[in-house]
Each structure stands twice: as C-alpha cells, then as structure tokens.
Structure 1
Amino acid sequence: MVAVREKPTSVEAVVTVVTVVHLWLCQGGFGVAAAAPTTLATGWKIWVVWVAKFADLRVPSQGTGGYATSGLCFGGPWYLTGRLAELLRPNAAPGVQGAVEDTIAKPKQGDWWHTESQQKIISAAQQRELLLIHGPPGTGKTSTAAAIVSQWIQKEGRVLCTAESHVAAQRLKETLQGPVMHLKWTGDTPWSELQRQLQAARVVVATCTGAGNDLLNSVEFRWLLIDEATQATEPAALIPICRSSGAQQLVLLGDPHQLPPTVLSAKAVQWGLSKTLFDRLSEKQLPMLLDTQFRMHPKLCAFPAAAFYGNQLKTSGVTAELVALEFRGVHGPEKQIGSSFCNASEADIVISILPELATDLESILLVAPYRAQRGLLERRLADLPRDPRLQVSTIDALQGGECDFLIFSATRSNATGAVGFLRDKRRVNVVLTRARRGIIVVGDPRTLANDATWAAWMEFALSLEPLDPYTLAVRAEAHLCLGNRDDAIGDCDQALELSPGLEYAVVTRDRACSKDHPQE
C-alpha cells in the first residue's frame, strides 16, 4: 500500500510493478476521489507500507496481466486457473461430481485412514480435478491431507502444499513423508542453499502468501493442496493457485463452521473479500465430509455435532475417559479496558478450579474471548507454582489446537445481556471442540442466556445431574434465567436434536459416569 499526501490532498494506491527506480501504481477502487499526481512537486511525501490483510485486496495473477479480485479474473491460458475461472462464472452450472472409485489399497492394521469417509476422500483426490474437503474438529484433516500427498508423490511431478499460517504449514510438514521443503526463509539461509533444497524436494510446504516467493519461479507443480482454506482470504488462496497454474488437481481442506479469515478493512468486507474461495467453490461443488472425529469424548461431541454439523459428525471408539462437562455460574461484573474486557470474579473461579483437576491430565487450556481477560489469567497464574501443563489463550489463537482439558471464561457479564463476539457460532464451536476429556465453562448465565447458541448449550450442560449443593444452586438460577427465554433453542439456525440413545454424564469433581451404570 502506498500513501501519497500533500495537505489537504491524500491519495492511496497499490504497487503493481517494481523496477529499480520506479514504482508503478494502480490507483482507484478504494473510494479515493482525488486523482493520482502526475508529478511529485515539493512538499509531497510517500509512504510505502506492507499491510498483509489489506495489500492482498488486489494480487497480480502470476504472469497473466490480470488481477485476482473479488471477481476472480484470470487472464492466462493455464489449465488450473482456466478451469476455476470457468467454474466460478456467475451463471456457470454446478460442477459435475461423478462416483468415486476405491483406488487406494485397503488399510492395514495400524493405518489411521480406516473410516469409510477417509477412504472415499483419499480416492476422490486421485480422480477429481477439484476436491473440497470439509474437516470438522478432530477428524484427521491434516492426516488425510498427508495421505493424499503420499498418493500423489508415488507418481511423477512435484506437490505444493500451503496453509494460511506458518504454524499450520509446519503441522502439515510434520505429517508428510519423503523429501519435503518448508519454504520459510528468514534471511539466515543463503539463496544457493535454498535452491539446492528445492531441487531435492518432491513436496514444497509454504504459507499461501509465501508461495509467491521468487524462489519458486522456475518450479512446476503438478498437484496443489491448500490446508485451512477456510481461514485464508480469497486473494491469499489465489497466490498458490496462480503459482501452480498448470497443476492437474487441486484439493482444498477446511471447516466453514470454524473461524473465518481476519479481514480488517471494512471496504474489503463490502467488496466480498471476507468470503473465502472455499465458500465460493462450495456453492458450485459440494464438499466431501470427514464424518468421524477421534478427539472428543462422545458426550463432549454431542452438542457441537447437533448444533453445528447437523448430527453428521460421529465419534470413533478410541476417545479418552470423560473427566467433566460442566457449567459454573458467576455474577461478577465485567470491566472494559479500551476495546477489550476482563472479569476478575471469573478469573478467581477459573484459578480455583485448577486444584480440582486430575493429575493425569497432560494439557490444560485456559481460554478467554478477550486479550484483557487472557492477561488477567496470566497474571493470576504467575502467583502460583509453575505448571507446565497450563497454557492461556484467546479463542482466535486456539483454532487448530487441542488439549486434554479446557476451562473457558466467557467474561461478559452486564445488565443488557450483551455477549459481544461470543454471538458468533463459529467461535463457540472452536471453544467447545478443543478438549479431549473435559470442559468447564465459567460465565454469567443471565448474560449468556441472551444468545441462542449459548442458551442451548447451557440447557444441554444443565441437563447433567448435579451432585453438590453449590452446583445445584447455580444450575437452579441458570434454569430460571433460561426460563425467561422460551425461544432460546428455537432461535438457533436448526433445532437441536441430540443423537438418539446418548447417555448424559453425571458430573463429579474428578470424573463422570453413566447414569445407568454409576460404577463403570
């Protein structure tokens, strides 16, 4: 982004071409009425600033002379970009999806891709030009990606794998086999060494924007996989696509029911750039669903499966023992700090829970929706003996992570019932699907009851039989709050129908068991 200013005039533009002594600017499209200056007289100042989320509004398509904007215009004759442009025309017919033949060997003992949906998806990735994979939490999305790549590298050609962040890219790299290069240049490695590594690699892993690195200019990729595609802005996703314009197959993986990409520009949102390429393609071609999760205990999965995934999400038989599924009410007032919020009463409750937790829990996450509350929890923990199992996070930093046990501080507590961005069902989904063995939500039931999704979750959690007077009293008050919202569950996008035959847990301080089999 370039800003050229002379009082009282201001012009903004995008750098499109850089030469040794010139910057070529593309001005317009940003709502700026002033014309770009033809000469820079005395008094003009130029600021050139790289702003990743804003400068990506217009990404030059690699060598095409066109721009990858919200209209998705591809100017080149290349196979992959041409096919996408054809599919994404406003009046284009939906893509035809033929039956998938089982082209991979049956899994052997110890292979992880033993579910039917995994086998079908891995086979489809070898047969379809374009494949969208919907991977809910804990369904082995990254491992499925690795299996797809392992099938590709048995053939000739190179594979480009990208993700929105370096963390996700590194996680993907760690699951891949064979010669793999993670393109993450910090300036410490000589260019010649990077080129040597590139020549030896069959698979290149990079972030979406990192795929535009000049190091890859001479490399041709036959296959392209974009992980966490629902977290990448559309222009960011187009960078590896333009880089792999001659590729024969494209696979995008993601979960549209979790956090979307962060788009800070209101103008970009207005232009539709908060909509991901995965979302846009999903309107033309139905994603294939990974339908079996391996992370959460069935009782932890019950609500997310019903509320967010239409009861299509099943649970494997290899989950760990449930420790707790619990709501604890507190009425301490929130405190606003700038644009953030904290709640000291909730922080006290969260810290008081820690001694109750079982010692065999290997990882415990304390999660808050606001940075101010995260900071407060960190300060409270600093006064305690260090526990390496404990981590503190915000919701937005949590996606893709998992833990044994999670304690969530909802933070908001006010007379108006405002829950802030906790009203976003995708954030609720992220919070409720990280833990393997248990979750405790600490919050104000009067405030949370004003949001349909949280009201439905409290109804679910409070249906579990309480065993102590404190929890009984809190739940009685919460039921009273919910009683004033008869429409709480009805306001959800779909009626909450829990899987038939599910036995609800009886929560104690250290474990949970079936109501019908209390000694198991």
Structure 2
Amino acid sequence: MRKQKASDRRTRRAQRNGKELDVDDPNQQQQSSTGRSRGITKIFDDTKKKPTSPNFSKLLHPDSTQPKPTSSTRSRSSKRLALYSQINDYQTSQLTSLTSEFKYEESLILERLSSSKDLDPERPLREGEGCYDLLSSLRGELLGDHIYRLQKSDVSELFENGNGKFKPNDYSVITLQTFGLDDRLTSPVDLDSQKFEVVVSGVGPTYIDIVISDQLKFTEVFPEGSYLRIDRYFSKTSYERMCEAVKAFCDVEEEEENMRQYRDLVTGCGEGGEENNRVKEGSRFMSKPVENMNKEKAKLAYSTAQSKFPLNNSQLSAVALSLSRKLTTIIGPPGTGKTFTGCAVASGFNSLCSDTEKVLCCAYSNVGADNFARGLKNRGLRVLRIGRATAVGDDLVEDTLEFYLRKDRKWMEAMEEAKRATKNAKNSRDSNLKTLATSAVKTADAEKMKASARIMLDFDVVVSTCIGAADAAILTAMGKAENYKPDSPLTFPYLIIDEACQSLEAATLVPLTTTRCKSLVLLGDPMQLPPTVLSSSPSLETSLMERLTRSMPAPVMVTAKKDSEDSTNTYLKTVNLSNASKGKQGAKYISANAGGVLLKLQYRMHPSIAAYPSAQFYDGLLATPEALIAEREGGADVVDAVLKKIEGGVEVFGNVGIVKVESEDGVALEERSEGKDGIGEGTFKNSKEAETVAKIIATITNESKVAASDIGVITPYNGQKSLLKRIISEQTSSAGVEVNTVDGFQGREKRIIIFSAVRSNRGKKVGFLSDGRRMNVAITRAKEALIVVADTKTVGGGDRKWGEFFSWVKSNNGKSLDEI
C-alpha cells in the first residue's frame, strides 16, 4: 500500500474540518500548522531587546523582506509530477557524473599500469605514481593496524627531485615482483599477480609507510625479503557511499519534512542562481528555527558559544544566525576563522542536546576533520574522532573510536577468542572448528557494535570526514544496523560541514542523509578552489554550498553596533578595479547580498596583502585588525632587503613585491613539462623563474632572521614544482622550505610566500591562471610578505585580474603608508 504523502494528510485534515485546502497555495499550507507557528511567534515577541545582543525574535522569525510564498494555478498532480521529474533529473545527473568520474580515474590508473608493463616500464617512477624494488619491514602496531615501511635496500631516495605523488591516506596497491630485483614485467593488472590493496600512512624521501589490517594474510603473500612494487590506486568506497547518498536523498517516499525540504531546495537550485517558486519556498522554510526552539533555548546556545569562544562581530552574527535557522551557509575568506566559528556553533548546538543527541562535525578531508576536532577539544568539548588511527593526527589518536574500543573489555575478549578460533580452524579440516570460528567472528563483530554505541553516548561531538559519516559505527549507534539495535539509539539533530566548497556535492549529501538533521550549517568559501574533478563532468564542478549560496536570498542579519576589534582598510582604498574584472568564468563575483553570512575580519595577512583580494573577491568587505599591522610589519623589511639584490624589474607596495622575469627578445621562457596537472591540463616549467626564486630564498635565509621553514614557494604547475625542488636544493642550503602547487597549499599559510607564475609566451596564454579562485588562493597564503615572480606582460596581458593586480602594485610602487 502506498504511503500517504504529507500533502494528502493535510488535505484530508482540512476536509474533515469542513474546508477544502488548496495545496498549491503555500499561504494555506503554512496556516495548516497554525498552532505551532502562532505559538512560537507569541513566545518570541520581544521588543525590549538590549542593543548589543542579537535579536533572536527577528532571527527566528524573518521579517517581511523575505520572499513571500507564491500561489500556483497548476493542479496538485501536475505540480507533483514536475517535482518528481526534477528530482529524477537531479539523481540521474549526479549518478551519471559520479560514475563518469570514477571510471575516468580508474581508466587513467589502469592505462598507466598497463603501459608500464608493455611499453614504458619506468613511467610510474618518472611520474611519481609508482616505485619498484622495495623491501618491507614492520614498524609497529597502532590500535590493531600494523604499519610497514617500504624502502630500497640501500635506503636511497625513492623519486628523483622529490616528485613522488604519494601522500597520507592515498589508496595504493603493492605487488610481489615475481622475478625479484629489477623485475619490471610483473604488474598489478596481471590476473595471476600477487597483490594487496593498502592505505598510505606516511611518506618521506626514502620511504613509504603503509597500513596493513590483516597482517597474517600480508605475510603469506609477501614473505620476508621479497621485492615489491607500489602504485597509486583508487578506492570504490567513496564512490559507493556517494551514490547511496544520492539515491537516499532523492527518495520520493521521504516522510520527514526537513529532508523533503532539503531535497526540494537542492534539486530546485540552478547553478546560475535563478530563482523559482521552490527555491523561494525552500528558503523560507530553511530560515525558520528548528522544532521546539524558543527564545530561551536560543539565548542559552548563543551565550554558551560566546563564553567559550572569543568571537568578533561577524563571527557572532554567523553563530546567532546558525543557531536560529534550519540551513545556514557561512562564507569564510582566508584567515577569517571559519573553522573556529564552526566550532563555536557546535558548542552552542551541544548545549541544546539531550543525552542521546549529538552534534556531528564533518570536513571533506582528514586534515580538515582533524582541525575541527582540535578546535573543539581545545575549548573543553568531549570529542570523538571517527576514522583509522593511522589517518588522523598523532595528537588525536587517543580521541579516536578505535582507541576507546581497545579499552572495552567485552569486545577485546571476544576479539581475542575470534583470533584463536580462526587460527585453530585455518589449518584444520574439522568442520566443527570452522563453525566455531565463524560464530566467534560474528560474536566479536556484535560486541564491537555494542561497544561503539556505548562509547558514543559519552561524547558531546562526533567528528569525521564527509565520507566517514557513513561509517558502520555511526550507523550502528543510530540503530540503523540490521543485526543490532542499541537500547538508546543516537540522533544527530545538528550537522556542521567544513570545507563545503571543496567537497563534491554528493559527498556533502553523505552526512546529510546519514543524520537526517534538523539544522545544517555549511562552511566554506566559493571564491577559493572548488572540488577537484578529473573528468569533464559539469555537475561535479560546483559544490552544493556554492549553488545554495548563489540561489538563496540573503539571510536576515542582526549584528552588534560595534565590532569587537578596531580594523583598518587604508590599503584597500588604493585598489581601483574595473567592473570587467569581476564575474568572469571561474571567478564569479560574490556580492554583499549573497545567500550566506560573510566573515569579514581576517587575522592572517598584513593589510597590504589583504587589500587586493578583498577588493577583487569580497566586495571590499574584508578588513584587518589594526593590532595585526605591527605583528606583520617585519615583512616589509624582508621584501625591501631581498628585492634590492634582485636584478630586473622590481616593484614594491607595502608588503607585496613583484619581480619581473621577462624575455628580452620575446621568446617564450615557459617550457612544456612531461605529465599533467591535477585537473588534466598539460604542465609547464620556467627555468629562469625557478633560478630567480632560488636566489630570493638564499637572500632571505642569509640576510634576515626568517627561518627556512617559514618560507613557502607555490606555483600552479607540477612541472615547475619539481624543477623548483631540484634547483632550490642545489643552490641553497635552505632545508625546510616548502614547495607545493597552489592546490596543495589551500588552507595553509607561511610567514613568507613566493609565487612563481610560470607562464611566459608571445600569445599571452595563461591557462588555468585565469581562474580567479586559484589566484585568490595563491595571493592569500602569506602572513608577512608576498613576492610574485612572473612575466607580467604574459600573465597580466592574458588575464584582467592579474593585470589589475600588477597595475595596482606599479601605481603605488615605493609609496609609504603616509603617502597613500
């Protein structure tokens, strides 16, 4: 029998009351729940609010500036049909794009492995994607997992110029070299090859550490002294969980109103931000408070967050807004304390939770999840980190679920019994022993589920990656496991997702469909780098947060009269941009009226560094505390001292320096380099720029008190990254200088940043340098000094934003603050 729709039930209730309800009239739909709606309005009627605290009456009940419901003349059936059709289109688009992306990644890896067997055996090593002739040695055990180190017999460096692409948490495959040392014929693609899928836990110049869960099987496949090869591989787990989340999200039989509204809003939002009735109606629903919220609870949550976290005005506004709505997007430009604000929101939510209610905090990456966990833990919240102990930071190992499981006596006893029974049955033909082993393993699994559920009850906040939100332990604690139902199942009414603009939309849906939350907060920055997509799948290139931010109307904002810190915008006044530099593809302009709350005070950059990105990407709203100027002033001395010793065109304004590396005869200085960059574009290098960067580093380390570890060198291209690593190591003794791509440096910062733009050609072709989001990340990593090394004719001539950046520095070259 078909389940009743909510609209059907409302119609029948209205008919019983002697009136016909027009379900196409949202005004009547709103009135159908009059008791609860009018009751809340009466409770929150507070006209005597103190001027320095948030007006929760206004926040919890948006005023008439919000979009009003619109009536429709279409029949109920045609409207529902249109809705289902749009949901189906959304599901098809997402699943098709996810499958395309997975198959594309799979084909790239299999093609590389196949070519290394038949055509080019050294290709994996040359591209940093694989390594041969490795020996394994046990390094130790961490909460049940065994860590093995792979090294060459002479402990030499694994990759030339340090161009290895292995990094922690990479999925990889190790294969037994059948013919021993120097075997280049055995490949993971061989059906009869002995191989083992592993996860990388750590990397160094001479080693790769891997995680082995089944040590017994590993030692059987790879006897001691065996030579191995390792190749970067792919995992199906993320793909499968994202697909399941999309299907669950698009379930038209959904009965819970919150989830229906999330679904209808998301599937109704267009990438261009066009408004339609469903987006307006969904936005109105999301602007309402969660169920059972009242003014007293809101004030309690707000005061709890405020007492634990020292917040500035825009952060306080974001917290107040998040605690009073069902959906909030918080836009956090570089250095504005986005994760810190998210932690404050979590603290406020936690004050509203019962014993069986928890806050779930997620991030797209393990690094982001770790940062979330640290921020919460540092403020006294009880945090449980979900994930392998080898995947989290060393300082968080004792906060993992696995750590606490090892303290559970019942599960440990059951696990030891399962190990003994399995060992006894392994080399025996006795069917009874095999039956006992199977039973013991099932018992151990059941005890682990019970222990996980018990452990989670003792914590305030659970932290995981977005994909990790579908972990079996979380599902078990919520009572979603088929073979075990806890006596007190957990719920997660509050969900906060950091790095939301770096996350694939389907990955964001994983925690949303797992928790079925009452309130959702997304934190990110649409003006920084989007999700990394290898295939040409347009529906994957825009994050869910960006789509929502561009489609939803501006939230009702109530702020304190005065910021908690004095700020400056003196340098900002020097930036004069043309309107043409805004709104181009890849650099969509965010106005002050975007559908999210903008954090406006940044604590990272000297104001001269922050001025241009504030004007270009954040409508000039990004300010700097005056107290930060003195702390960051030393960067100006570094820039002046360094650039005086560099030959060629040099321009300086504040703590920003431009070093021009241009061809004298018009011949291109860039060279194509072997391989591709992360988004599939061919990679480039520029030797003259790399040599200039090396000289700048040598000058800084020799003539200032700046340590090498305080210097970061970033570049858009992997080819230049490899070249820079080699030249810097040859020409300087600056061990500790970090070299990375722009994409690899997102979320990071250094005292001194040197940016190598690379491109130099007659045609003024700049490739993905024209992506404003990549530019924004590149020029906002520095705390004290930013030095840009570039062919300004090519880069500035090929992209208007870069051209205006160079013109801005040039027009203020040599000016002091007093001369502005």
TM category, shorter:
0.7 to 0.9
Paired letter, 1:252: L
Given that 2:241 and 2:470 are in contact with CA atoms closer than 8 Å, whether structure 1 keeps it comes out as no
Matched, 1:359 2:562: no
Residue 395 of structure 1 corresponds to: 742
CA-CA distance at 1:119 after TM superposition: 1.0
Query: 1:425-478 deviations in whole A, cap 9, x for unaligned?
Result: 000000111111110100111211221111011001212324xxxxxxxxxxxx
Amino acid at match of 1:201: F
Q: 2: distance between equivalents of 1:175 and 1:230?
A: 20
Residues 226-267 of structure 1 show CA distances to partners (whole Å, capped at 9, x for unaligned) of 00100111100000001111x22110001000000012222x
The residue that corresponds to 2:599 in the other structure is 290
SS at match of 1:433: coil
Instruction: State the Cα deviation string for residues 180-212 of structure 1 (Å, max 9, x = none).
Output: 122122689489448265343221111111111
Say which SS state the counterpart of residue 540 (structure 2) adopts.
Answer: coil
Q: Hey, which of these two has a bigger chunk of helix by percent?
A: 2
CA distance in 2, matches of 1:28, 1:118: 36
Partners of 1:85 and 1:110 lie apart in 2 by 34
Partner secondary structure for residue 501 of structure 2: helix
In the alignment, does 2:256 pair up with 1:78? yes
Q: What's the offset of the Cα at 1:307? A: 0.7
Alpha-carbon separation, structure 1, partners of 2:752 and 2:768: 23
Structural mapping, 1:90-239, within 5 Å: 90=268, 91-94=277-280, 95-96=283-284, 97=287, 103=299, 104-105=302-303, 112-113=310-311, 115-156=312-353, 157-177=357-377, 178-185=381-388, 189=402, 192-193=405-406, 195=452, 197-217=455-475, 218-219=477-478, 220-239=491-510
Query: Residue 336 of structure 2 contacts residue 602 of structure 2 at CA under 8 Å; is this kept in 1?
Result: yes
Amino acid paired to 1:164: Y
* Uncovered stretches (5+) of structure 2, i.e. residues with no partner: 1-94, 101-190, 192-196, 198-232, 269-276, 392-401, 407-447, 479-490, 554-594, 637-654, 664-668, 675-681
Q: Distance in 2 between matches of 1:131 and 1:222?
A: 14
**RMSD of equivalent CA atoms:** 3.2
- Within 2, Cα distance between the matches of 1:30 and 1:374? 31
Higher mean alpha-carbon deviation, 160-169 vs 319-328, is at 319-328
Moved more, 128-137 or 216-225: 216-225
Q: Output aligned runs, 1:343-358, within 5 Å.
A: 343-357=686-700, 358=704
1:150 partner amino acid = S
For each residue in 1:398-450, what CA deviation from the matched residue of structure 2 results, as whole angstroms up to 9, or x when unmatched? Answer: 11111111000001111211111101000000011111111010011121122
CA distance in 2, matches of 1:88, 1:163: 20
> Structure 1 residues 447 and 127 mapped into 2: Cα distance closer, same or farther (>3 Å)?
same
Residue 447 of structure 1 is aligned with which of 794, 797, 801? 794
- Once the two structures are TM-superposed, the CA of residue 313 in structure 1 deviates from its matched residue by 1.3
1: distance between equivalents of 2:98 and 2:735? 50
Residue deviations 1:259-302, cap 9 Å, x none?
00012222x32xx2222111222212410111111111111111
CA contact (8 A) 1:222 1:249 kept: yes
How far apart are 1:88 and its partner, in Å?
3.1
Match of 1:335 among 643, 649, 671: 671
Whether the 8 Å contact between 1:133 and 1:254 is mirrored in structure 2 is yes
Alignment of 1:28-107 (within 5 A): 51=235, 55=239, 59-61=243-245, 66-68=247-249, 72=250, 75-90=253-268, 91-94=277-280, 95-96=283-284, 97=287, 103=299, 104-105=302-303
Letter in 2 for 1:305: S
Where is the strand percentage greater, Structure 1 or Structure 2? Answer: 1
Report the alpha carbon displacement of residue 124 of structure 1 after superposing the two structures with TM.
1.4
Look up the equivalent residue of 2:352 and give its one-letter code: K
Q: Which residue of 2 aligns with 1:457?
A: 805
Q: Partner letter of residue 346 of structure 1? A: E
Q: Does the residue aligned with 1:440 lie in a helix, a strand or coil?
A: strand
Secondary structure at the residue paired with 2:787?
strand
Decide whether the 8 Å contact of 2:694 with 2:732 is kept in 1.
no
Residue 657 of structure 2 is aligned to residue 326 of structure 1: yes
Q: For 1:385 and 1:278, how far apart are their aligned partners in 2?
A: 43
C-alpha contact (below 8 Å) 1:261/1:274 kept by paired residues: yes
Where do 5+ consecutive residues of structure 1 fail to align?
1-25, 32-44, 467-505, 507-512
Once the two structures are superposed, residues 14-33 of structure 1 have per-residue CA deviations (whole angstroms, 9 ceiling, x without a partner) of xxxxxxxxxxxx999979xx
Letter in 1 for 2:660: G
> Could you tell me how far apart the structure 2 residues matched to 1:29 and 1:126 are?
33
Q: CA contact under 8 A between 2:304 and 2:348: conserved in structure 1?
A: no
**Given the superposition, is the C-alpha separation of residues 233 and 74 from structure 1 closer, same or farther in structure 2, using an over 3 Å criterion?**
farther
Instruction: Tell me the CA shift for residue 112 of structure 1.
Output: 2.9
For residues 458 and 83 of structure 1, the distance between their equivalents in structure 2, rounded to whole angstroms, comes to 47
> In structure 2, what is the Cα distance between the partners aligned to 1:388 and 1:328?
23
Inter-partner Cα distance in structure 1 for 2:309 and 2:733: 38
The question of whether the paired residues in 1 share the 8 Å contact of 2:527 and 2:617 is answered with: yes
**Structure 2 CA distance, aligned partners of 1:27 and 1:146?**
35
Larger radius of gyration: 2
Q: Please list every run of at least 4 consecutive aligned residues from structure 1 whose deviation after the TM superposition is greater than 6 angstroms.
A: 26-31, 98-102, 106-110
What residue identity is the alignment partner of 2:278? A
**What's the secondary structure of 2:613's corresponding residue?**
helix
Give the whole-Å Cα distance in 1 for the aligned partners of 2:369 and 2:99.
32
Q: Check whether the contact 1:80–1:244 (CA below 8 A) recurs between aligned residues.
A: no
- Structure 1: distance between partners of 2:370 and 2:307: 28
**Could you tell me the percent identity over the aligned residues?**
30
**Per-residue deviation, residues 465-498 of structure 1 (Å, max 9, x unmatched):** 24xxxxxxxxxxxxxxxxxxxxxxxxxxxxxxxx
Query: Using the alignment, how far apart are the partners of 1:348 and 1:29 within structure 2?
Result: 42
Within-5 A mapping of 1:13-32: none
Cα distance in 1 for residues equivalent to 2:96 and 2:505 = 21
Kindly provide the amino acid, as one letter, of the partner of residue 260 in structure 2.
G
The 10-residue stretch of structure 1 (134-143 or 97-106) with the greater mean CA deviation from structure 2: 97-106
Measured in 2, the distance between the counterparts of 1:107 and 1:167 equals: 24
Length-normalised TM-score, structure 1: 0.74
1:88 aligns to what SS in structure 2? helix
